[in-house]
A and B are shown apart, each in its own frame.
Chain A
């Protein structure tokens, strides 16, 4: 069975500092990995995905994620956080079976 873990309920970072939101996964076979962001009272928006190829994936709004097969991780990163990045972030995995499984979410707070 596939699963996704986001070990941090909340991440706090000062504006201008780098941010990392952690994600680990468990799937059989090759994983398709995704990050989504949810702003208050809104649906989820796609940020980026890893399918194959380069382990560093670049996405929307300056975010990037690094796929690490040996550690089964797919951490979301941004070199310089903005207050407007404050939101709920979800990591998701699909093992090719068409059902996407989401992590519990990590709330990011960026302080001015």
Chain B
């Protein structure tokens, strides 16, 4: 069974540009979570999607947005990039609202560098 896949692995952008990160969850998982892991700051919750809808959002500005497609894959968009957006962006999936106590399955992450 394929795990959570993320693309691209690495992405280099300049300030003001836009970045798009992609995530494919494990087959059968309907929930997708996005986390930001900046150096020394641990994992910060960004967004949670389930069944195609945004269910919860972390304390990030509106230029962080995303969506979930009918096949449950997801995109994270970061507009007007700032230097402090440089981080590892992790996507995780779970079985969704039917299984509250389930663990998260993480992808390998997309490392975004903003110059």
Instruction: Tell me which of B35, B48, B106 contacts A45 (CB under 8 A).
Output: B106
With a cutoff of 8 Å between Cβ atoms, the chain A residues found around residue B100 in the complex are 32, 94, 96, 98
With a cutoff of 8 Å between Cβ atoms, the chain B residues found around residue A100 in the complex are 33, 45, 104
A99 touches B107 (CB 8 A): no
Interface size on B, residues (CB 8 A): 24
**What total of A-B pairs shows CB separation below 8 Å?**
58
Q: Which residues of B contact A (CB under 8 A)?
A: 4, 31, 33, 35, 41-43, 45, 48, 50, 55-56, 90, 92, 97, 100-101, 103-109
B43 → A minimal CB distance (Å) = 4
A44 touches B106 (CB 8 A): yes
Interface residues on A, range: 20 to 34
The answer to whether residues A103 and B56 also contact, given A34-B103, A43-B4 and a CB cut-off of 8 A, is no
Instruction: Tell me which of B41, B48, B106 contacts A43 (CB under 8 A).
Output: B106
A44 touches B42 (CB 8 A): no
With a cutoff of 8 Å between Cβ atoms, the chain A residues found around residue B109 in the complex are 42-43
Q: Which residues of A contact B (CB under 8 A)?
A: 32, 34, 36, 41-46, 49, 51, 90, 94, 96-105
Instruction: Tell me which of A46, A101, A104 contacts B103 (CB under 8 A).
Output: A46
The answer to whether residues A98 and B90 also contact, given A43-B106, A45-B106, A104-B42 and a CB cut-off of 8 A, is no
CA distance A104 to B35 in the complex (A): 13
A8 → B minimal CB distance (Å) = 13
- Additional A-B contacts beyond A36-B104, A43-B90, A51-B101 (15; CB < 8 A): A36-B106, A43-B108, A46-B103, A46-B104, A90-B43, A96-B100, A96-B101, A98-B31, A98-B48, A98-B50, A98-B55, A98-B100, A99-B48, A102-B45, A105-B43
B42 touches A105 (CB 8 A): yes
User: Which of A42, A44, A46, A101 has most B Cβ within 10 Å?
Assistant: A44
With a cutoff of 8 Å between Cβ atoms, the chain A residues found around residue B4 in the complex are 43
